[in-house]
Amino acid sequence: MRACRRQAVPYTPVWYMRQAGRSLPEYRKVREGVPMLTACATPELVVEITMQPVRRYGVDAAIFFSDIVVPLKAIGVDLDIRPGVGPVVEAPIRDREGLAALRPLEPDDVPYVTESVRALVGELGGTPLIGFAGAPFTLASYLIEGGPSKNHDNTKAMMYGEPELWHALMERLSEITLAFLRLQVAAGASAVQLFDSWVGAVAPEDYREFVLPHTSRIFAGLADLGVPRIHFGVGTGELLGLLGEAGADVVGVDWRVPLDEAALRVGAGKALQGNLDPAVLLAPWEVVERRARDVLTRGRVAEGHVFNLGHGVLPATDPDQLARLTDLVHEASAR
CA–CA distance, 35 with 39 (Å, rounded to integer)? 6
- What is the b/e burial string over 55-93, where b = at least 16 CB atoms within 10 angstroms of the residue's CB? ebbebbbbbbbbbbbbbbbbbebebbbeeeebbbbeeeb
Q: Which of 5, 11, 22, 208 is catalytic?
A: 22
Which helix H or strand E contains 88, and what residues bound it?
A: strand 86-89
Active-site residue, 22 included: yes
Residue 130 to residues 101, 105, 234, 267: CA-CA distances in angstroms?
A: 29, 20, 19, 24
**Residue 37, number of CB atoms within 10 A of its CB:** 18
Residue 118 annotated to the active site: no
List 56, 67, 260, 291, catalytic entry: 67
Residue 183's closest CA among 66, 88, 62?
Answer: 66
From the list 16, 142, 229, 254, the catalytic residue is 142
Q: Does an H or E element contain 74, and which?
A: helix 70-74
The active-site residue, picked from 18, 94, 182, 229, is 18
- Catalytic site includes residue 31: yes
Element (H, E) at 324: helix 319-332
User: Catalytic: 112?
Assistant: no
Distance CA 127, CA 301 (A): 26
Out of 5, 31, 256, 293, pick the active-site residue.
31
18 included as an active-site residue: yes
Closest CA to 310 of 19, 12, 16, 10: 16
Catalytic residues: 18, 22, 31, 67, 142
